[in-house]
Chain A
Amino acid sequence: MKEVIHLPVQNVEEEEYHINMGPQHPSTHGVLRLVVSLQGEIVKSLKPHCGYIHRGIEKMCEKDTYPQIIHLTDRMDYLSAHINNHAVCMLVEKALEVEVPERVKYIRTIVDELNRIASHQLWWCSFGMDMGGLTCFFYGLRDREKILDIFEESFGSRLLHSYYTPGGLMMDIHPDFQKNVKAFIKYFRKKIKDYDELLTGNIIMQLRTQGIGILSKEDAISYGVTGPSGRASGFACDVRKHHPYGVYDKADFKEILGTKGDTFERYMMRMDEMLESMKIIEQLIDNIPAGDHTAKMKAVLKLPAGEYFQRVEAARGELGVYVVSDGNKSPYRMKFRSPNFSNLSVLDHISRGCKIADLVAIGASLDYVIPDIDR
């Protein structure tokens, strides 16, 4: 008879073990790998591993001319493609001291806000899905489709537009643009009530998000968490309000600030921002001045030697573009300060001590887009 070997019994309860969440995990919204250190079900610490979708966009920019860089910035945070384009265009215009026509500024602001609504709608879809409500995903995508139709009609594509060029726009807006945007806002004001009924008031969602993943204002500032996630903690960081660009100074809107900084507060920030964005669009859509859709630009754009920086409020936070030019037609060095990278860095801090199911909720509320983290 074979002898049974008894291994020494370890206390499994107290031992930490590591789990790979991702790179193929539906709740990471892309190829992000989180190495989670667990004790039982409690998250002890967490290490994000980036680089699975690194394409070297900053390096690729160094061989491209400035108009060519625009199409690469689309592919960073693809859900706020127009806003990324806006950052590079404004930087080139600032460096060349070009004044863009008023019409261009109006159109850019309206399209940026439409893009922000579309981005928050997709965030709402995936937030609901991470919480276990697949219905949200369909309702959110259905309404986002209306914006994408407007985009497709005017700019020809749904996601990666490359619509802005340094000095103006690729082409003028479609004649039906204003009519369709107004129809969409009327439609979406009705439909956003469904969102609240379906998910915001839901008891399961509230219990899973309230008091979870609390980020204090001091931590938000020191980690550089911007956008709706930072504003949920009370950090007033809206670039549109504090350093207005486009025609944001002509529109009347609130900077929405939270107090608690928990997951539910971050959720509410984006729901309220969609309403504010619609308010901005409503004020501007009827006042688009007539004029040319582009300023007069040289055929080859050469930025004077020096350093330039421009920032905009993307859908997830503050996007900064930094260029060192040596006077040539392509930049010597290009650096993007992407909002998602800073927002991801705080994930370890706020998810310690939470359950692993809460980690999914916290991750969904930070709303990260992986190509923007890796670039």
Chain B
Amino acid sequence: MYLKSLKVEDFASIAHAELSQFSAGLNIVVGDNEAGKSTLLKALRAAFFQKHRAGGEAVKEFQPYQGGNRPLVAVEFTLDGVDYHLEKAFLQRQSAALSWPGGALSGDAVEDRLAELLRFQHTTARKQREDDFRGAFGLLWVDQGRSVRGLDIGAGRDALTASLEGEVGQMLGGERGRGLIAAAKELEGRFFTATGKDKIDSPLKVAREEYRRIEESLTLKREAYRELAQKIDRLADRRKRLKDYEDAGTLSKAESALAEAEAAAHKAGERDREWQTAASALKHAEAIRQAAEARLRQRDALARNVDTTQHSLDDALRLFAEADGQLREANAELTERTKERQALTEAERQAAQRHEAFRLAGEIERETDRLAELTRAIAVAEALGQEMVEKRRAVSAIGLDEAAVAAIDKAEQRRRDCEVKLTVAAPTISFAPSGDGKVVAPSGERLAAETAIAVTEPTSFKLEGFGCVTVAPGGNAASLAEEERAAKDALTRLLARHGAASPEEARAKLAEAKTLNGELAAAKAQIRALLPDGLDEARARREAVEAGLTRLKAQKAELAISSDQSMPGEAELRATLETARRNRVEAESREHAARRLIEGLAIRRGTAESEVARLTAERDRLGAELSAAEAETPRAGLSAALGRAEADREAKQAQVDLRDRERAESNVEAARREVEDRREALRRITQNLQALRDETLSLEGELRAEGGNAIGEDIARMEEELVPLSKKIERLTLEAEASKLLSATLATAQREARELWLGPIKARVAPYLRLLHPESEIDLDEETLEIRALRRRGVEERFERLSAGAREQVAVVARLSLAHVLKEGGHPAAVILDDALVNTDEMRLERMHRVLREAARELQVIVLTCRERDFRDLGAPMFRL
């Protein structure tokens, strides 16, 4: 297919346009916006696909905008080596003409020939739609703004498929294939839902349910039949048993056995009653006999009682007399013992007094001595005390002590030291008067010649005859003299203070004081030795001793023992006293024993006395009772009555023994049990029989009721029904399986067929796509033939999510590929792109140029664009509107 030229007149916005000499490869048609590019494409479509006679909306838009009313399109094209000229006029004076070398058509024949040449069908729809299919050829033309929508095949899919069938042969089966697929789906739809599940009204399911229902019902019926059969068996069994009972006469036998047992029991009862009567008579006689016996026994007991009481009384009287005598003897003994004890007590008292008096005398003597000693010691001590007072006074008169003497010594020492120093330092004057010159010392004393006098202070010596010489020691001597004076003064003051004339005297006085102190200490020690407790204490003791002595003397005086009596020794007195005490104690214990004896005897006597009284009363009462009884019935009478009662009882006993033997023979208990057993047996037999009759009747009733219910027939019928039903299920199962298999097999084959012819498109796309988007491939939907996704490096990107640029590029290359495939199949194929790459960036546009050049080697490609520069460098023929 090769479009050679296009002429458009009075077509919508285009008044006149003529493009001639299109190349067989790439062509660029440039026009500004509103220049009519899209209208040009519309006109081309109209020429090929629009019936020239058409009216209505589809052609109304062909109406020219200015002047004229006969839109006209003329196309020159080459197809399968034949050059055609096509011219169509619309709306007014409609016309169509197709001519080629050696032929020409006009009118409707042109439309039919076009459809044949371009392999499309005219729509039969009254109202034409924009996307109505115009054959595969038309699909290769991309309207402005539609490139981003992918292949955008839409409703044209089936037709495209049909169109493509041309080059993939009968692969797709065509209309018949689609019909068979639908039919298979319908067959499958009888059994299965769209999701492959069992359909609710599937005939197979219905048949299976029917089968199950019959089976269930059959099970129930069989069960019922079994029960019925059991009932029948039971009825036969019950009837047989009833007959056995009757044949054996079980019931009447049991009845007569009961009657016999009852008669035996009656007889046994009689015997038993006779025995009971005899036994009660015996009991009565025995009672009488026992009463008589008791009365006799009572009388004898009473008599024995009287005797016994009398004996006891006698014994009691004897005991009393004995106790009384003994008591009297004991009293006498006690009197004696008391006397003895009193005498011995007195003896003891006297011995004690004597011993006491002796002891007191000793005591008084000792205390007197003690008093004398104390008095003496006190006197000595008092003398020593007086002495000490005097000595203390002397000591204190001396008024010196060691310290004072030491101080005095020290002052003396100092004075001597000063004197020595002065002596050394002071000038020594010696007067050696001539003749008898006299030298008088200031003191008026005459000084011996040749005497060296040490002058320690200015001293005026009167030298007779001369006058007065004053010597004054100078320098050191003067101060030393002063010192010496001070020391002398100090000493003097000390001595004065202590009343001593000189240090020697002071020392002598100190020695005296020491001697006195020693004597004081000695006196003190002496007193302490005499009276360790002190003087006052000693005095107090002396008073106490004195008082004690007075008391002792008084005590002694109290004792009525004259001191003048000759006194035996201590030991003797003590022995006497001990002996007396022992005697007295012994006497006391003897007296005590005698007293206790009396107490015991008194109790015995009292007891015996009261026993005697009691027994006497008892004997009297019993005696009276016995006399009264004897008076009423004598003992002999009682004895005779007992004899009679015993005889009667013997007779009654013999009667009872007889009846008991008879009773034992008939055994009333056994007879009674026998009756009970027989009665129970009869009851059971009757019950059994009744139960059997009842059951028989009930079974007969039940079976009669069920007799006509045709259960056996039902079972047989259902069993037979199951046979064809199971065959039907088998058949339907096979049909269901077959329908599924058929449908699946057809679907698989169809899918594979599609794969088969989608393959070439994909193969064609691949090299173009690699130019634009390396390592990518497109994914076409088998069903819709739409571009589903772009797969880049294994990552799938849904087509509608790609950028607008990518979408239009992919769509254009897919379209080019499709055109290749169609062309190879001998279809007319020319690609027209109306501003199809407006979203593409420069780099990719560059690549798209290569794609277009590549495609144009085999295909005619016409690019309509408003951007000349985008395609300027392509070097393709350029047409301007």
State whether these chains interact: no
Q: Residues of B with Cβ closer than 8 Å to A?
A: none
Q: Residues of A with Cβ closer than 8 Å to B?
A: none
